[in-house]
Amino acid sequence: MSDIAIRVENLGKQYRIGALQKGGGYSYKSLRDSIANAASAPFRAARGLMGQNGTHENHRDEIFWALKDVSFDVRKGEIVGVIGRNGAGKSTLLKLLSRITEPTTGRVEIHGRVGSLLEVGTGFHPELTGRDNVYLNGAILGMKNAEIARNFDAIVAFAGVERFIDTPVKHYSSGMYLRLAFAVAAHLQTEVLIVDEVLAVGDAEFQKKCLGKMQEVSRGGRTVIFVSHNLTAVKKLCGSGILLRNGQLLYEGSSNSALERYMSSGVDTSGNWERDPEKASRDEIWFESVHLMDSDGNIRAEFDFEEIVHVSISANVTKRVENAQFAMRVSNHEGIAVFTTCNTDEPRRYIPFEAGPVTYTIKLPRRFLMPGRYMLTIAAHIPRVQLFDLIDDEISFMIHETSSYAGVLPDDRTGIVNETINWQP
């Protein structure tokens, strides 16, 4: 008997986007518009080659492949993390695996009952109590009434809403609502579980419970497909990883290797990031370039543990801006934020920016970051008001422990930073 739980062969999903309207531009259609379009389809087909004035119509929909030529196998009991940047095709893949939408090309073969946690809270009715919604949502997810009743106490306890279970959910906080919805879905008894970003639910304590529940599911021998931007959760939970990029399979293998490739794929690794002026933001502030340099001004992306890393940020301000802030976040290869620094740290106040060029240089101290790969995210914004421009994990650099410092770092010294602290007896 085969130990394959999921087999995906040459899977692809195509969409048509950008249908032009008579007046030019794009719009969404209502149900009434769709019915009217269906009724007039034969007449439009007859006019397809010739416009109303007898001229050739050249308006065509744009073909977009959300997923293309994706193939992989998942073994029974395996937990696979699916990662990739926004627009990589992760959600499309999960919808195809869940049979929510049909593929354009290829096929999916799944052995066993499938449970999907794609839209947590779908099917909840605000006027019904929490108790009623547990039964309603469970039925929508494919659970039998007896199965829901058998798991009811565990579901309510997991969500932590015992006191409010007979209260209409319209009176719940958003956190209570989502916790109860996740609890219902998490207690599905399925052979294959497809999970999309559920660890973004609730507060930190509940997210820890969610991760524990996923680990419990995996120990029970069930197959799990897990999509998340929480790379730490992917590393903890998943033994295997699938990396998608622009709708195509970029890597399939261990989760650690997938995470490393994710953090280094599609990013600048030269230390010389420059924006195409034609792609510049139309807002008041936009970034022109970011250069990583050593103390001699040489542009590099690899540095020794003992070197100072200079980050030079150049931006353009198109008109005077009050209360704006430049911020830079350094993250490690697992996506964990190491620290964030802002131009308003010193002096501790906002400085108005006049129209013209702006340049900042940030110095990362030597012996501060432990050897490894790091990513930069840089933003120009008015905090909690407006984002002008964002460079999101597009710049990467390495810190190496070379011969100049070899053997000085103890083997058991762990962590992300290497700050030395004086111990007073």
Residues of the chain with pLDDT under 70: 1, 18-61, 119-123, 198-204, 266, 279-281, 402-413
Under DSSP, the state recorded for 329 is E
Q: Are residues 81 and 182 in the same domain?
A: yes
Q: Give dist(CA 94, CA 195) in Å, integer.
A: 8
- Tell whether 237 is covered by a domain: yes
Domain count, the chain: 2
Q: Are residues 88 and 209 in the same domain?
A: yes
Q: Are residues 346 and 390 in the same domain?
A: yes
Joined together, the tokens standing for residue 102 give 């049909």
Residues 6 or more apart whose CB falls under 8 angstroms from that of 228 comprise 81, 83, 195, 197, 199, 200, 234
Q: Are residues 206 and 96 in the same domain?
A: yes
Joined together, the tokens standing for residue 373 give 């790969």
**Each residue of 264-301: pLDDT tens digit?**
776 778 899 998 777 666 779 999 999 999 999 999 99
Under DSSP, the state recorded for 294 is -
Type of residue numbered 55: T
- Tell whether 415 is covered by a domain: no
110 dihedral zone (left: phi>0; alpha: psi -120 to 50; beta): beta
Joined together, the tokens standing for residue 209 give 């419970």
- The domain that holds 260 is classified in CATH as 3.40.50.300
Residues paired with residue 310 on neighbouring β-strands, in sequence order: 293, 363
- The domain that holds 358 is classified in CATH as 2.70.50.60
Joined together, the tokens standing for residue 22 give 């008579």
CB 355 within 8 A of CB 299: no
- Tell whether 13 is covered by a domain: no
Q: Give dist(CA 256, CA 235) in Å, integer.
A: 7
- Tell whether 168 is covered by a domain: yes
Q: Give dist(CA 70, CA 252) in Å, integer.
A: 11
CA 273 vs CA 268, 296, 394: distances in Å: 6, 19, 8
Q: Please give the pLDDT value at position 341.
A: 95
Provide the residue range defining the domain that includes 349. Answer: 272-400
Q: Are residues 185 and 280 in the same domain?
A: no
- Tell whether 70 is covered by a domain: yes
Q: Are residues 211 and 285 in the same domain?
A: no
Q: Identify the domain boundary among 245, 264, 283.
A: 264
Q: Identify the domain boundary among 264, 294, 326.
A: 264
**Each residue of 36-76: pLDDT tens digit?**
455 445 544 444 444 444 444 444 557 889 999 999 999 98
- Tell whether 129 is covered by a domain: yes
Q: Are residues 337 and 253 in the same domain?
A: no
Q: Are residues 239 and 353 in the same domain?
A: no
Q: Are residues 242 and 306 in the same domain?
A: no
Q: Please give the pLDDT value at position 194.
A: 86
- Tell whether 414 is covered by a domain: no
List of E strands, 1-122 = 4-17, 62-75, 79-83, 105-110, 114-117
**Residue whose structure tokens are 């937990």:** 79
CA angle 241, 243, 245 (to 5 degrees): 170
Q: Are residues 364 and 248 in the same domain?
A: no
Q: What is the pTM of this model?
A: 0.64
Q: Are residues 127 and 169 in the same domain?
A: yes
Joined together, the tokens standing for residue 204 give 């930190």
Residues paired with residue 290 on neighbouring β-strands, in sequence order: 273, 313
- Tell whether 61 is covered by a domain: no
Q: Are residues 168 and 313 in the same domain?
A: no
